[in-house]
Structure 1
Amino acid sequence: MTLKIMTVKQLAEKVLNKEHLFILDVRNESDFQDWKVEGENFEYLNIPYFELLDGIDEIADKVPRDQDVLVICAKGGSSEFVGEELIDAGFDHIYTLEDGMKAWSELLKKVKVYEDDHMKVFQFIRVGKGCLSYMIVSDQEALLVDPARFVNDYVKVAEEEGAKITHIVDSHLHADHISGGNMLAEMTGAKYYLMKSEGAVFNFEALEDHEKIGFKQVQLEVLAVKTPGHTPGSVSFLVNDKLLFSGDTIFISGLGRPDLGNKVREWANDLYNSVHNKVAEIADDVIVIPGHFADLDAEINSDGYIGDTLGNIRKRNEKMFTTPKEEFISSVEKSASSVKPPNFEEIVAINRGVEKVDSDKMQELEIGPNRCAVHHGV
């Protein structure tokens, strides 16, 4: 019997296929409680690694012998040690997650959202982090929406599609992960668009100056023109009247949290105006594809991507679209969370271009869940 390796891609397939898996997580309890691999049919046992240094006797009767067991730690080393201990104790079907939660945080899974004669749209699901990014391909050109820092992944997909990345847009200044927008623009020469009000210090095209961005057979409308709320510079993008890239303004089952700038009432008012005045004008059959998901099992649809028609979202979250203004703002204030995205101030500084860090530091800063949605249905 030998210890087997499971890659994050293999683990993601188990999550998406809703397979059964027993997970032995050997990180500290606080880390496990804060963020773990989520699977609808997963079982969990959390025992910190340091409690198993003298052997696995205390968990021998808690770990199943007749099914696959995946041992997980932060970076892979501790789980290998525990996995080998289990093998030595006569357990079979023992796997360790290659590179641990670090690698789980960085996996991007590509799925196709939409295709017609004018464009093809891909969603990149960052399964372990809850972040979503997009590529629109039209006539050998590609536009990216909210790209993560894994720039080579997008370049590779564009090359596979026979396209060149020519346009990049960020819906807002992200607080839970590091944007790849500026890095990709420098790498590819693409035009990079961001709201000037977000305070970035590098070169970019200000979205305030663009009601529409056109390329090939695509018209990307910078919605109405702005949809603030999550941050003061949040925007949504309506593409060919077919798809609404809603950023962190509207999710499949809720709204973006407007409390990260310590101006919750002011920004909740902006969010109300965005939802009730701007989004209200959009047709029910438009497909909403957001910047994050909260619950993969609940939000992924039968086509394998996270998205739904605006009409279905309106029905599911009717109160969100019908609550009177003062009640809406009061409800958002009450639901505002004191728990901020991990390291969000430093991440924001990096995304503004005010601070520069290496890839190891970026990786360290991003470990943990996204916390960009704070309420569902108001």
Structure 2
Amino acid sequence: MGNVPVITPKELHEKIASGQPVFILDVRNEDEYANWKIEGKHVTSINVPYFAFVEEDASVWEAIPKDVKDIVVVCAKGGASEFVAEQLREKGYNAVSLKGGMLAWSQFYHPELVAFDENLKLYQVNRLAKGCLSYVLISEGEALVVDPNRHVDVYLELAQKEGATIRHIVDTHLHADHISGGPELAKRTGATYYLPSSDVQDGTVSFEPLERHEQIHMGKVVVEVLAIPTPGHTPGSTSLLVNKKFLLSGDTIFVGGLGRPDLGGKAKEWAQMLYDTVFKTIANLPDDVYVLPAHYADVQEINDRGIVGATLGEIRRSNEIMRTQDRERFTETVAASAQAEKPPNFETIVAINRGLQSVTPEEATELEIGPNRCAAHHSTL
């Protein structure tokens, strides 16, 4: 199997992002595939479990279209996919194995430049396997990181590339689907770590209460970062308004939905908070403010520039729940998300993010496996 060509997660992403058709043969178990797989606008994916190839079941070849030439074989960690790719190559297919499998894909991050001018640069960092989005704002040699995931080297490397020092780190809320990189990044940089204190409750994590800071100043040029309380997904959820142009909305407003309010066990109460956020707080912001969320649930939300974002006006027009001004109907609709499947292991992840529990890197990887499930409602964009 040593001669089987491999494709790295970065190379696979570049191929998908280029618009080329990509055919993926995923050889994990059916339930693993159904729960979580690689997706893209021009990606075709099928599932034929590995054991069918081991047992030399002739029917496996019927599942693979004859007109497909190039195949990316995917498994959990990269070993099984090499075995299957070798069999495919013997049959004449140009098959490659995803190096490191879904484990490596889950840890791949792609930074994309959202905007820049003489005052600032704003990057969106997309962790594609999780649909998690974080941000790096740079101005005059200083950097602010928003909603960092736990693989903090990506932020350190981006700051170094830009010649910037990370001074501020903000979690817009206490995350339930992934382990925050905020505390570790603060430890490694000496930066201030901000978190809404009402989300932490009895936690032991060290942080600066975000609600005490209406503004965070960056660089020699004052870049206004306005913290706007936007409760609903969590009681302390806070959005950041950058230069009155960009709303880093955390899990309050998505391109295609709103943050689900049920993860704290108080769906209706938090849905009421979310109503006030949408129709009172956010209602005052103009339509041309560009919304950049902390998550997305569908690859269709990635636009032609490779960014997950939309103007507030576009979201208001396309998202039915954002137009539901009847408080009772809004509350019932949003609270109904409590019936949806919750993020895997969310209680443990919340405990870790509060500083109440610690895990090894291997355990952290297992806890984070799978997609995010932080949205209450999604429109058809």
Which category of TM-score, normalised to the shorter sequence, fits these structures? over 0.9
Shift of 1:319: 4.3
Please say if 1:363 is aligned against 2:365. yes
1:18, 1:257 → 2: CA distance?
Answer: 32
- List aligned pairs for 1:27-176, cutoff 5 A: 27-55=28-56, 57-64=58-65, 66-88=68-90, 90-176=91-177
Please say if 1:268 is aligned against 2:263. no
1:286, 1:118 → 2: CA distance?
Answer: 18
- In the alignment, residue 259 of structure 2 is paired with which amino acid? G
The residue aligned with 2:205 is 202
Shift of 1:183: 0.3
Shift of 1:115: 0.9
2:291–2:309 Cα contact (<8 Å) kept = yes
TM-score by length of 2: 0.94
1:320–1:377 Cα contact (<8 Å) kept = no
- List aligned pairs for 1:16-27, cutoff 5 A: 16-27=17-28
1:18–1:39 Cα contact (<8 Å) kept = no
Shift of 1:361: 1.0
User: Which deviates the most, 57-66 or 151-160?
Assistant: 57-66
The residue aligned with 2:216 is 213
Shift of 1:11: 1.5
- In the alignment, residue 240 of structure 2 is paired with which amino acid? F
Q: Taking structure 1 as reference, are residues 338 and 310 closer, same or farther at Cα in structure 2, changes over 3 Å only? A: closer
- In the alignment, residue 266 of structure 2 is paired with which amino acid? K
Runs of 4+ in 1 over 6 A off after TM superposition: none
Structure 1 gap ranges (5+): none
1:319, 1:148 → 2: CA distance?
Answer: 29
Q: What percentage of aligned pairs have identical amino acids?
A: 50
RMSD: 1.7
Please say if 1:11 is aligned against 2:16. no
2:264, 2:337 → 1: CA distance?
Answer: 15
Shift of 1:106: 1.1
1:255–1:377 Cα contact (<8 Å) kept = no
After superposition, the C-alpha distances for 1:174-225 in whole angstroms (9 at most, x for unaligned) are: 11111100000000000000011122312210012112222222121110xx
The residue aligned with 1:283 is 286
2:261–2:335 Cα contact (<8 Å) kept = no
Shift of 1:126: 0.8
- In the alignment, residue 189 of structure 1 is paired with which amino acid? G
After superposition, the C-alpha distances for 1:40-71 in whole angstroms (9 at most, x for unaligned) are: 23223212212321225221233245511111
1:169–1:193 Cα contact (<8 Å) kept = yes
Shift of 1:77: 1.0
Shift of 1:273: 0.6
2:241, 2:339 → 1: CA distance?
Answer: 30
- In the alignment, residue 351 of structure 1 is paired with which amino acid? N
1:157, 1:45 → 2: CA distance?
Answer: 35
2:378, 2:89 → 1: CA distance?
Answer: 44
TM-score by length of 1: 0.95
User: Which deviates the most, 272-281 or 332-341?
Assistant: 332-341
Task: Give the number of aligned pairs.
Answer: 374
1:334, 1:347 → 2: CA distance?
Answer: 23
The residue aligned with 1:254 is 257
1:362, 1:375 → 2: CA distance?
Answer: 28
Shift of 1:114: 1.0
- In the alignment, residue 185 of structure 1 is paired with which amino acid? A
